[in-house]
Structure 1
Amino acid sequence: MNLVSTIRALGPIDAKNVARDPLLRWVLVFGLLIGLALRLGVPPLPEYLEATYQFDLTAYYVLIMSTCLLFVPALVGTVVGFLLLDQRDDRTLDALQVTPLTVTGYLWYRIATPMLLSVALTPVVLLIANLVSLDAPLLVLMSLVAAPFAALMALAIASLAQNKVQGFALSKASGLVTMPPIVAYFVAGKWQFAFGLVPTYWPVKAYWSAAAGGSEFWIYLAIATVYQGVLLVVLARHFRRVVSR
């Protein structure tokens, strides 16, 4: 069974599970609300902050938007991660033994689903927020490179958490990998690249470079793709070991 057939078979089931769980449903809607809040809430602030505190908020628009680049995949990855937790606890993979769908096919589906959702949702949120002007094709490209973070989140929750309580703890701990790029923004020079040990740094760095009109963003995109790809392989193998126990 190929990936397209797998999506057709399991996609409607996942959609029903998300629709049935109000928490998971609102997590996805929350991403769109964040974009709307930024669109309506941020533009009125710079004039007030400049007049009152001599603080130029517009200088940080790129940072705010690049944070959204990670925020949306993190939300999507959390939703899919909890779906994986449920299906792991229900021993769904045991049932796959009597279906045409292999464990490998199921795993590919679970990697592809959060990435596809992230690629679809992230540009929409960024376009709604619209604090930084980037061409739509470039936004889609940035979203593509940030999308593996959604799959990494999903696999991390599903393979490292024993239950939903631990899953929530892990989703909150995602700040450990989303905060370093924010800190890196305030680090000048080559020292900033020390944050490259964190995979989320490279998609964000690519966004900063593209927003500044630099051409080296292609290098950062390539590094982000390779680095996250390696981590996906590692986590996917770990997930297979977990579900095979």
Structure 2
Amino acid sequence: MQKLLRLVRLDFSMILREEMLWFMLFVVPALQFSAALLLLPWLEEQFPVMAEYHLLIVMLMTLQVVTSIGFVLASMLLDERDEEVLTALRAMPVGVNAFLFYRLGIGTVMAVLFAYAMLSIPGLEGLGLASRLMAAALFASAAPITTLALATLSSNKVEGLAVYKGLSIILLIPAGSFFMDSWVQYTLGVVPVYWSLHFVDKVLVGEPGGLELLMALLTHGLVLWMLFRLFKRRVFS
């Protein structure tokens, strides 16, 4: 337990030393939550057509919050890789797998909390406690996916920022399915976020979302497993 607390203290010290990291971890989520809680209702009054897409807008804002957390963790991993900290872990008692699970785990917990807060704003009262927690966990899964994708595909934080922008666009693509009425929308299901979006949508209208939940768990799990293996292969092979 003491080792875990020490790692947490070291991580937060690293974050607070870099303006971009603490901005992405604390300020961006706070701004998104404030915008969803205060600005979005006002915009919907000014532009009534936006009210029809209230749920979709909130879900996309939630996605932005959790991926910003993933970006912070990826930046830390890139720094540690450059300083060969990750390589040194192979000879330490904590172990590589334990360290990665800790780092991804703490980021996911933070993402769940932020996602739950976002999904608790007015307009989403139809989500029960269990459904809201499950939805928050599904959205939070985008955080470790973002972390591993950036840390695997980037050589430094500058490249990481470029990859982050590209990944953010990819994760937004499934939103287009809400404007499609044909089977073509299911092709967007290759992006795990698709199933998270439609799980929440189904639950809010009172329909069973079991299939969407199952597909979300399977696709997120598969992508995480693939990225975890790729990351370890690139860093430690």
| TM-score, normalising length: structure 1 | 0.89
- Corresponding residue number in structure 1 for 2:33: 35
Amino acid at match of 1:36: S
CA pair 124-58 structure 1, distance change in 2 beyond 3 A: same
Query: Which residue, out of 199, 205, 228, partners 2:220?
Result: 228
Spell out, residue by residue over 1:201-235, the C-alpha distance to the aligned partner (whole angstroms, 9 max, x if none). 111111111122211x2221111111111111111
Question: 1:13 — aligned with what?
Answer: 10
Structure 2, unmatched stretches of 5+, are none
Shift of 1:88: 0.8
CA deviation string 1:85-124 (max 9, x = no partner): 1111111123223421111212222332221111121112
String of CA shifts for 1:147-203, please: whole Å, max 9, x gaps.
221101001111110011100001111233222121111111433212101111111
Cα distance in 2 for partners of 1:69, 1:218 equals 22
Map of 1:28-177 to 2, 5 A cutoff?
Answer: 28=25, 29-50=27-48, 56-127=49-120, 129-133=121-125, 134-177=127-170
* Alpha-carbon separation, structure 1, partners of 2:16 and 2:33: 22
Q: What is residue 174 of structure 2 aligned with on the other side?
A: 181
How many residue pairs end up in the alignment?
Answer: 235
Provide the rounded CA distance (Å) in 1 between the counterparts of 2:175 and 2:212: 16
Cα RMSD over matched residues? 1.8
Is the 8 Å Cα contact of residues 68 and 126 (structure 1) preserved in structure 2? no
1:9, CA displacement in angstroms? 3.8
Secondary structure of the equivalent of 1:173? helix
CA contact under 8 A between 2:119 and 2:136: conserved in structure 1? no
2:70·2:145 contact (CA, 8 Å) conserved in 1?
Answer: yes
Q: Give, as a single letter, the amino acid of the residue that structure 1 aligns with 2:101.
A: W
Q: Which has the higher contact order (CA 8 A, sep 6+)?
A: 1
The structural deviation recorded for 1:146 is 1.9
Indicate whether 1:201 and 2:198 are aligned.
Answer: no
Gaps of 5+ in 1: 51-55
2:23 corresponds to 1:26: yes
Which amino acid counterpart does residue 30 of structure 2 have in structure 1? L
The aligned amino acid for 1:35 is F
* CA displacement at 1:6 relative to structure 2: 6.0
TM value normalised by structure 2? 0.91
Which residue identity lines up with residue 229 of structure 2 in the other structure? R
